[in-house]
Chain A
Amino acid sequence: MGGRSFETERMALRALESEDASSLQLYLNDGAIRGRRYVPGSVRDVEPLSRSHVSAILEEWGKEKAGFTLGVLAKVSGRLIGHATCEWNWDPHCPSVSVVIAPSQQRAGYGSEVLRLLVEHLFLDTPAHTITGWIASWNDSALAFAAAFGFVECGRIPRAGLRDGDYYEHVLVELLHREWATGQGGHRAA
């Protein structure tokens, strides 16, 4: 990682520890984020998770070699309020990102701050050229969130899963380095 700090005035991204299991279990089992928990692919994204499930998730995140998952800490409370992942399993040229904020802490601007830190890290400290995100087509708030940040939809993967009696799609969104830099008014680290 580069010299940038993984924190803002209100929050910090930090490594996840086994002691985080209870906080993690609490918000991962909140029905409001069913299907958008962004947990490892070996864990289904819908059922309530036991402590051993959550420990397995933490262990899997800890083994990531081509990317990382960090916890989102709210400074005011000292509580874990979410997690964020960058991964480049295919190629560091085109990493993907995901951000999950506990439902009780949403709409407070934490997600935007986290995403800004991740994108700055990838574009300023790694060879990333195109950053992608995968969002379920029913997840309107995440789609709006990504669009507001400058991500653009670049297509859809049909029949990604079933939800409430219908198929949904995965919406792919992308952000090119040069478009981000332009939107930022140039490379701020230069």
Chain B
Amino acid sequence: MPLEGTLVVLREERREDQKLFAELRNDLATQAWGQSLPPTYTEEMHVKRFEAMEFSYQRTSARLPIIHKETGEVAGFISYTDLEPRLSASIGLVVAKPFWGTRVGLDAQETLLRFLFSELGLRVVHLWTHSGNPRAVGLAEKSGFRVTARIREAVYKNGKLLDTLAMSLTRDEYYARHPEFADTLPDPVDLLRGA
């Protein structure tokens, strides 16, 4: 069963995706980093990183290309990192400019969140962004994330000092927003409290 949303499918990474990934990394608007990187990343570098990935049952991260169902195009990628099994992970999203404003990013985010909460059984999902990226903040808020920490002036980008923002979405908050999915996984803390 693929990770499928309304507009997108999230699939495994392939060698042919690496050209687009290099292009996204070289665009200051889609690097999605709290600091700017030189636009000197090549497809070959990305292929090398891709080929270095090894099979494991203990994966703590994944990067999933976002496939636009209507056109079959790769619209960007969404990832999770720092997986603490059955507890937490952080997500990241990069959408190629032609797909900005098309709801592809939101659909990809919702599709990944369903996987993280319903399949991986996480208790919380985090993401990091900065105050100079209101598009990312707004998109996260549409899925229920809220800002839980603001580190002042921790980012310098585009000639400005910006705040780092930590955003989180707990399992309770996710399922409260999605009554169509039943959460049958008991919370260990609730069990101890006899809830």
Note all chain A residues with C-beta closer than 8 A to B35. 90-91, 93
Q: With A91-B35, A94-B164, A172-B166 in contact, is A159–B124 under 8 Å at CB?
A: yes
Interface presence of A14 (CB below 8 A): no
Q: Are B155 and A158 in contact (CB under 8 A)?
A: no
Q: With A90-B35, A172-B166 in contact, is A159–B123 under 8 Å at CB?
A: yes
Size of the A side of the interface (Cβ < 8 Å), in residues, is: 22
What is the distance, in angstroms, from B155's C-beta to the closest C-beta of chain A? Answer: 7
The CA-CA distance from A154 to B150 in the complex, in Å, is 6
Contacting residue for A174 out of B123, B151, B156, B170, CB 8 A:
B151
Note all chain A residues with C-beta closer than 8 A to B34. 90-91
Q: With A159-B123, A167-B123 in contact, is A93–B189 under 8 Å at CB?
A: no
Q: Are A132 and B168 in contact (CB under 8 A)?
A: no
Q: Are B164 and A159 in contact (CB under 8 A)?
A: no
Interface presence of B153 (CB below 8 A): yes
Note all chain A residues with C-beta closer than 8 A to B154. 91, 93-94, 129-130, 132, 174
Interface presence of B148 (CB below 8 A): yes
A177, closest chain B residue (CB) = B153
Q: With A155-B148, A157-B166 in contact, is A94–B155 under 8 Å at CB?
A: yes
Interface presence of A148 (CB below 8 A): no
B171, closest chain A residue (CB) = A159
Interface of A is mostly: strand
Interface presence of A166 (CB below 8 A): yes
Note all chain A residues with C-beta closer than 8 A to B153. 129-130, 176
> Interface readout for A153-167 with B: 1 if CB under 8 Å, 0 if not?
011111111100111
What is the distance, in angstroms, from A157's C-beta to the closest C-beta of chain B? Answer: 6
Q: With A130-B154, A167-B123, A174-B151 in contact, is A157–B168 under 8 Å at CB?
A: yes
User: B37-86: which residues lie under 8 A (CB-CB) from chain A?
Assistant: 84
Interface presence of B188 (CB below 8 A): yes
Q: Are B151 and A159 in contact (CB under 8 A)?
A: no
Q: Are A154 and B152 in contact (CB under 8 A)?
A: yes
Besides A162-B189, A172-B166, 17 other CB < 8 A contacts? A90-B35, A91-B35, A91-B156, A93-B154, A93-B156, A94-B154, A129-B153, A129-B154, A154-B150, A155-B151, A155-B166, A156-B149, A158-B124, A160-B88, A161-B87, A165-B189, A172-B151
